[in-house]
Amino acid sequence: MHANENFTRYMEIGIDSFVAASIDRKTGQATKPARQLRELLEAITLADEVGLDVFGIGEHHRLEFLDSAPAVILAAAAARTRHIRLTSAVTVLSAADPVRVFQEFATVDLISNGRAEIVVGRGSFIEAYPLFGLDLKDYDSLFAEKLDLLLQIREQTHVHWSGKHRASLNGDGVYPRPVQNPLPIWLGVGGTPASFARAGALGLPLMVAIIGGEHRRFRPLIDLYREAGLRAGHSLEKLKVGIHSLGYVADDFTTAAPDFFPGYAKSFTEIGKERGWPPVTRAHFDALLTPTGALLVGDSETVVEKILQVNEALGGISRLTFQMSVAALPHEKMLRAIELHLGDLVVGFAKSFPDVHRELHRVNVLGNVVAVELSIQGTFRGPMETPAGVIQPTGAKVDIPCADFFYMRNGKIERFDCYPAASIMLKQMGVLPDFASAVNRH
């Protein structure tokens, strides 16, 4: 059973993999790369069967990972699956040609019949820069320019474009065109405020990697994203937030942590050598397992509870992915985690709110979150408890470009978030929320 059956379907659950390689430290070679790709495809197939929403493949250009060509791996996954969405996590766009990226993912989209997505980012590692002849001093301009081009190619087949880091396009056509129009493009971010603001301004869904510390410290950045988005005139429906987490669900908490720790410690200690971090200790790991810590590791109940808290702390999230590759789990444990635990989680969610996935733009009571998405034409259908009393559903159509979130606990509002940009807009429109009058009116 799940900690909270009212958890909503509108949060998609998925897995991200970096396709970690087994390395023979003597020879410096990957010891069984073909087998690891085969096991990865088994895991994706199983994730599809148990109903997970999305599977992501990272992009790295180093010995430790087998994912330098994510679209190639995703195409293989597309040929073996039926429902699951397939995404990069992330495509290192700064080092890529946006034309090729679009062509590759459009092809995956055709093969999967409309299930491809791209998460673009600047990459966490920097080995792609020397490999593709790029200068780290162009870190930001490379990304900004290439993202601009990618979005233009998504928008239209024949593009006129010129920039500093890539040859001009003079109306040349980019083929094939994908099934989905627009092909979903997310912006993957770490902790750089400007990245959050950029994603908002462009109206792109946001994928936030939270791999350490506490989730809630990202709230101001996510607010910045939503504010920038609303200010730029994008609807909240478009301004989705997803979280890429390190996580693993096992039969019980006392199994999960020891399963996860050794690989996790090894991976982060290795990365730490390059980045000047101290070696990972068990105490450090344990701190991340506490209710507010970043790791989603434990039994189903613990993890679901934690996801609900993340959802609250971050003002509502649309997608959450578990990255387990860091732990280098044995294949059987990976499959068990997918089949028994993540699968259950998703099934539980779907039972409670089967249709809400496509109804995000209405006034809805979603378990413990009441989301009033006034930005889209919606209908006020559910009773809403406010500090001033219950607002009865009116069936009224609403069409206002802003959004409010009410966080409930035991049927009462615990917190109320009104996004600044929205408030300003509402004010301009003369429709500031007035709970008392609403309560009295009905």
Among the listed ranges 102-110, 142-150, 358-366, 432-440, the one in contact with a second copy (CB under 8 A) is: 102-110
DSSP secondary structure string, 81-92? -SS-EEEES-EE
Quote the CA–CA distance of 193 and 401 in Å, as a whole number: 24
Shortest distance, CB of residue 150 to a second copy, whole angstroms? 15
Q: Which is nearer to a second copy, 105 or 218 (CB)?
A: 105
**Contact call for residue 429 and a second copy (CB under 8 A):** no
Shortest distance, CB of residue 91 to a second copy, whole angstroms? 12
Q: Which is nearer to a second copy, 126 or 418 (CB)?
A: 126
Shortest distance, CB of residue 258 to a second copy, whole angstroms? 30
End-to-end CA separation in angstroms for the chain: 39
Interface residue with a second copy among 104, 223, 373, 404 (CB under 8 A) is 104
Q: Is 116 helix (H, G, I), strand (E, B) or coil?
A: strand
Interface residue with a second copy among 24, 83, 114, 282 (CB under 8 A) is 114
Dihedral sign for Cα 126, 151, 101, 78, please: positive
Burial class (CB in 10 A: 0-12, 13-18, 19+), 113: exposed
Shortest distance, CB of residue 26 to a second copy, whole angstroms? 16
Q: Which is nearer to a second copy, 20 or 372 (CB)?
A: 20
Residues 6+ apart with CB under 8 A from 263: 326, 327, 328, 329
Count of positions on this chain that bind a second copy (CB under 8 A): 54
**Contact call for residue 79 and a second copy (CB under 8 A):** yes
Site for a second copy in 16-55 (CB under 8 A): 21, 29-30, 33-34, 37-38, 41
Shortest distance, CB of residue 177 to a second copy, whole angstroms? 7
Residues 6+ apart with CB under 8 A from 243: 207, 208, 210, 215, 310, 314, 317, 319, 320, 321
Q: Which amino acid is at 116?
A: A
Q: Could you tell me which of 61, 73, 71 has the C-alpha nearest to residue 36?
A: 73
Shortest distance, CB of residue 325 to a second copy, whole angstroms? 14
Q: Which is nearer to a second copy, 167 or 432 (CB)?
A: 167
| Structure token pair of residue 130 | 């020397």
Shortest distance, CB of residue 131 to a second copy, whole angstroms? 5
E runs forming strands in 49-184: 54-57, 85-88, 91-92, 116-121, 158-161, 169-173
**Contact call for residue 400 and a second copy (CB under 8 A):** no
Quote the CA–CA distance of 319 and 298 in Å, as a whole number: 19
Interface residue with a second copy among 66, 206, 239, 297 (CB under 8 A) is 66
Quote the CA–CA distance of 33 and 12 in Å, as a whole number: 30
Shortest distance, CB of residue 140 to a second copy, whole angstroms? 19
| Structure token pair of residue 262 | 């050794």
E runs forming strands in 221-332: 241-249, 296-298, 319-323
Site for a second copy in 118-177 (CB under 8 A): 127, 130-134, 166-170, 172-177
**Rounded to a whole number, what is the largest CA-CA distance in the chain?**
76
Residue with tokens 């320019």: 145
Shortest distance, CB of residue 98 to a second copy, whole angstroms? 11
Q: Which is nearer to a second copy, 67 or 227 (CB)?
A: 67
Q: Residue 243 — φ and ψ, nearest 5°?
A: -120, 125
Shortest distance, CB of residue 264 to a second copy, whole angstroms? 22
**Contact call for residue 271 and a second copy (CB under 8 A):** no
**Contact call for residue 111 and a second copy (CB under 8 A):** yes
Q: Map residues 196-225 to x or -, x wherever contact with a second copy holds by CB under 8 A.
A: ------------------------------
Q: Which is nearer to a second copy, 102 or 261 (CB)?
A: 102
**Contact call for residue 71 and a second copy (CB under 8 A):** yes
Q: Which is nearer to a second copy, 116 or 360 (CB)?
A: 116
Quote the CA–CA distance of 245 and 59 in Å, as a whole number: 16
Q: Which parts of this chain interact with a second copy (CB under 8 A)?
A: 21, 29-30, 33-34, 37-38, 41, 61-63, 65-66, 68-69, 71-73, 75-80, 97, 99-100, 103-104, 106-108, 110-111, 113-114, 127, 130-134, 166-170, 172-177, 179
